[in-house]
Chains A and B, each alone.
Chain A
Amino acid sequence: MDNNLKDKWQAAEYCPSEKLNAQQIINGQRTTTLQKLAGRYKFFANLGLSLMLLMPIDWYAASHSSLIIGKPVFIFAMIFFGICSITDFMLYKGISRIDCCRMTVIEVTGKILLYRKRHLQFVMLFAPLAIAFIGYVAYSNLNDKYFMYGVIAGSIIGLTIGIRQLLQFMADYRTIINLTEDNDTQEYKS
C-alpha cells in the first residue's frame, strides 16, 4: 500500500505550463503574496495615521461650516484612526517577520493563523465602532438635507458590500478556528 502510493506520487512528471521569468525574480521586480500583504497593512497603517493627524484640521473646518459635529466626535475619530493605525502596523510587522526560508512549517503555520485571526478580530471590533460613529454623525445632522443624502447613499453601498464581506468573513473565521484547534500549532501562536 505504502509503496504503491509512493510509486504513484513519484511517477508524476510535470510539464511546465508557463515559463518562469527568472530575470525578473533576480532583479527583484517581483514580490511574493506575503510581501504584498505586508505592504497593504503598511499602507493602511500610514493611512490611519494620516487620518488621525488630519482630524484637528477637519474639526477646525467643521467648526466654520454649517455641520453640527461636536468636538468629542473628532476626539473619538482620532482615537479610532490611531488604534486602526497601530493594529495595522502590528500586523505589518508580524507578517514582515515571517521567514519562509528559515522558519519551520509549524512556526509559519502558527504565525499565519495567528495574524489571520487577529485581522478578523480587529475587523469584528472596529466595524461596529465605525457604524456607530457614522450613525452618530448622521443623527447630529438630520437637518442638513445634502449631508443626509450622502450618508444614505454611502450606507446603501456599504451595506451591499458589507453583507457579502460579513458572510465571507464568518466562513473564514470558522475555518481558522478549526485549523487552530490543531494542538501542534498552539505553542507558536503567542
Chain B
Amino acid sequence: MHAIVHTYPPAIPQLSALKRGIAVIQYLKRTVSALSHGNCETTKHDRYATFGHIITEHDRLISQICFSYSHTREEFEDLRQDTYINIWQGLKHFNHRSTIKTWLYRVTLNTCISSIRLKSKRINNVSIDELCYSIADDDQNRQRLLYELHDCINMLNPIDKAIIIMWLDEFSYDEISDVMGLNRNTIASRLKRAKEKLIKL
C-alpha cells in the first residue's frame, strides 16, 4: 500500500492524457483492492471469532426465540439453521453500534418472522418435550408453567410476540424500540396489551 503511493507520481508527467487517465484508474483500483483486501482479512478473522462466540454463548437465546416462532421440531431446526446463516452473512456488516445481543435479537426475530408458516399448528407439549427444554431446578410445576407460557406466547401475533420476548429478556424500552422500529410509546402500549392477553390466557 505504502509502495504504491510512492512509486506512482514520477511516472505521470511522461504519459499522454488518455494513458494518464488509465493509469489513474488503475492506481485507484489497486488502492481500493489493497485496502479492501486488508480489511477482508481482518474482518474474516473477526467473523470467525465472533461466530464461534455466538454459537457457544448465545445459542440458548437464539434457540429460545426460534422455538417461540416454530410449531414443529423440523420448523424449529430450520429456523435455527436460517438464523445462523443470516448471522454469518450479516457479521461482515455488523458495525458494533448496538450490542451483539441486541443485534442477535434483530437477526433472529427477522429470520423467524420472515419464515412464518401460516398453515402449521403447534402440537401441544409433544414438540416442547422433543426439544429438550429443561428447568434449572427440576421442578415439575415450573416446567409445566413454562410450557404454558410458551403456548400462550405462541398465540400472540408475530409483532407482540417479538415485543414480549424482548421484554422477558430484560431489554429496555429503547432497545426494544430500536430493534422493532416502533416508538417508545407504541412499545409500551403494545406490551401492556400483550401482557393483558397473556394474563387472560
If the complex has contacts A25-B85, A32-B82, are A109 and B118 also in contact, measured as CB distance less than 8 A? no
Per-residue interface assignment for chain B, residues 106 to 141, with 1 indicating a CB less than 8 Å from any chain A CB and 0 otherwise: 110111011110110000000000111111110000
Cβ contact within 8 Å between B84 and A20? yes
Which residue among B48, B115, B178 has the maximum number of chain A CB atoms within 10 Å of its CB?
Answer: B115
Cβ contact within 8 Å between B109 and A12? no
Cβ contact within 8 Å between A34 and B114? yes
Tell me whether B26 is interfacial, beta carbon within 8 Å.
no
Task: Select which of B60, B84, B137, B181 is within 8 A of A106 by beta carbon.
Answer: B181
Cβ contact within 8 Å between A105 and B110? yes
Report B179-201 residues with CB < 8 Å from chain A CB.
179-182, 186, 190, 195, 198-199
Per-residue interface assignment for chain A, residues 170 to 190, with 1 indicating a CB less than 8 Å from any chain B CB and 0 otherwise: 011001100100101100000
Closest chain-B Cβ to A94's Cβ sits at a distance in Å of 12
Residues on A with C-beta less than 8 A from B173 are: none
Task: Select which of B88, B103, B178, B195 is within 8 A of A25 by beta carbon.
Answer: B88
Can you list the 7 inter-chain pairs with the closest CB atoms, starting with the nearest? A104-B181, A101-B90, A100-B110, A9-B168, A15-B132, A106-B181, A32-B82
A-contacting residues of B (Cβ < 8 Å)? 48, 51-52, 55, 59-60, 63-64, 67, 73, 77-78, 80-82, 84-90, 93-94, 103, 106-107, 109-111, 113-116, 118-119, 130-137, 142, 145-146, 149, 157-159, 162, 168-170, 178-182, 186, 190, 195, 198-199
B-contacting residues of A (Cβ < 8 Å)? 1-2, 5-6, 8-18, 20, 22, 25-26, 30-34, 98-109, 112, 168, 171-172, 175-176, 179, 182, 184-185
